[in-house]
Amino acid sequence: MDLLVRPRRLRGGEVLRKMVRETRMDPSALIYPLFFMDGENRAEEIPSLPGQYRYTVDRAAQAMDTVAAAGVQSVLLFGIPAEKDARGSQAYAADGVVQRALRKLKAEFPEIYCITDVCLCEYTSHGHCGMLRGREVDNDQTLELLADTALSHVQAGADMVAPSDMMDGRIRAIRERLDGSGFFTVPIMSYAVKYASAFYGPFREAAGSAPAFGDRKSYQMDYHNRREGIKEALLDVDEGADILMVKPAMSYLDMVREVKDATNLPLASYSVSGEYAMVKASAGNGWIDEERIVCEMAASAFRAGTDLYISYYARELAKFMQEGRIG
């Protein structure tokens, strides 16, 4: 048989396969989500996210030790307040749980890059991501509170803010508030293309953020839509976003590629709680090889165009990368 082109020539050994690998990954691209709650001297494992915990601020060192040891340099902070109200006032309180966690982390782990989730859902008594007018989320009223929240995070030490609420115009509102307060150099990572997804289920338990009524489909995106995702991304570029995000990751890699092709900003994707929980449950039953699945999921996101990967497996992935098992 006279074959001039043989793709298998470049698959003949591990050294050669790595030499010609198209997708390369590094621990610096990983971001690990962390949950902080009010209270003292507690670390609670999240039942639907085995191996993940809610920490009180005084246990920040425990939360960070494994992150730093793994070689992960960036964290994404979420807060769970003891008290909630209709306006989500603990989201932007100077002594709020995230604000206190930031001051603690910056004092004890100055080398860690701290990104904060900016949203009201964990802080409102009704569980929605914004202010209510009757039973509807009032977009424009919410913008002021989101800007207040972002500013309070930056004043407490946040290196970057990441609005996840999906209100129209929130990137501009936050950018103008930060710039008007002198924080011109603080980047915004926008949850630009965030779908109303069933994959968020375990997170809502972790953060206590399930809506008390209705759902979030009036502000998070319909998962049937592609062009709308590009529209959302381009709007956030125009409003001053520095990094864009697609969420969830695994079932939306087509959107990762679409947004990557349509914009020139760095792109993040979030491997969300439902993805993590499915892998953990399947691995716990002996149905899959956990390490190989986790590596394959991450590689698929980077192959699709991800620059930054937010994952509850970030610590393990950093280890796998450093040991040459992925990357």
Lowest mean pLDDT among 81-90, 197-206, 276-285: 197-206
**Where do runs of H (alpha helix) occur along 111-249?**
139-156, 170-180, 201-207, 227-239
Give the whole-angstrom CA distance, residue 278 versus residue 249. 14
Contact 152, 94 (CB under 8 A): yes
Q: What is the pLDDT of residues 26-60, one digit of tens each?
A: 999 999 999 999 999 999 999 999 999 999 999 99
Q: For the chain, give the mean pLDDT.
A: 93
pLDDT band per the 50, 70, 90 thresholds, residue 206: low
pLDDT band per the 50, 70, 90 thresholds, residue 327: confident
Count of helix runs (H) and strand runs (E) in the chain: 11, 12
Let me know if 84 is a catalytic residue: no
Let me know if 247 is a catalytic residue: yes
Pull the structure tokens for residue 135.
């039973």
Give the whole-angstrom CA distance, residue 211 versus residue 216. 8
For the chain, the farthest-separated pair of C-alpha atoms sits apart, in whole angstroms, at: 75
Give the whole-angstrom CA distance, residue 138 versus residue 311. 31
pLDDT value of position 320: 94
**Average pLDDT of the segment spanning 87-107:** 96
The amino acid that residue 280 corresponds to is K
Please tell me the pTM assigned to this model. 0.94
Number of Cβ within 10 Å of residue 263's Cβ equals 17
Given the residues 84, 104, 106, 194, the one annotated as active site: 194
Residue with structure tokens 């972002």? Answer: 150
Q: Pick the closest to residue 252 from 280, 281, 232, 272 (CA basis).
A: 272
Given the residues 84, 247, 280, 319, the one annotated as active site: 247
**Average pLDDT of the segment spanning 199-206:** 80
Q: Which residues lie below 8 Å from residue 92, measured CB to CB, with a gap of 6+?
A: 145, 148, 149, 151, 152
Q: What is the pLDDT of residues 213-267, one digit of tens each?
A: 656 778 899 999 999 999 999 999 999 999 999 999 999 999 999 999 999 999 9
Share of the chain above pLDDT 90, in %: 82
